[in-house]
Amino acid sequence: MKKMSLIIISLLVFVGGCNFFEKKEKKVEVNANSAQTATAKVIGKNNESYGNAYFQEEDNGVRVTLALSGLPSGTHGIHIHSVGKCEPPTFESAGPHFNPTHKEHGKDNPKGYHMGDLPNLEVGEDGSVDMNFLAEGLTLDKNAANSLLGGEGTSLVIHESEDDYKSDPAGNSGARIACGAIQ
User: Which position among 114, 130, 141, 164 bears the catalytic label?
Assistant: 114
Cα 96 to Cα 93: distance, rounded to the nearest angstrom: 9
Correct CATH for 37-182 of 2.60.40.200, 3.40.50.1820, 3.40.50.300, 3.30.300.180 = 2.60.40.200
pTM of the model: 0.78
Rounded distance between C-alpha atoms, residue 123 and residue 43, angstroms: 15
Give yes or no for a contact between 93 and 168, defined as CB atoms under 8 angstroms apart. Answer: no
- Closest alpha carbon to 66 in 155, 132, 136: 132
List phi, psi (to 5°) of 22: -60, -45
Tens of pLDDT, residue by residue over 105-144, are 777 777 777 888 899 999 999 999 989 999 999 999 988 8
Please give the average per-residue pLDDT across 75-99, as a whole number.
94
**79 annotated active-site:** yes
> What is d(CA 150, CA 141) in angstroms, rounded to the nearest whole number?
8
User: Containing H/E element for 28?
Assistant: helix 2-32
Q: Tens of pLDDT along 16-57?
A: 554 444 444 333 333 344 579 999 999 999 999 999 999 999
117 catalytic residue (yes or no): yes
Could you report the per-residue pLDDT of 149-160, keeping only the tens digit for each?
Answer: 988 899 999 999
Kindly name the residue from 59, 76, 81, 108 that is annotated as catalytic: 81
* 105 included as an active-site residue: yes
Catalytic hit among 59, 76, 105, 168:
105
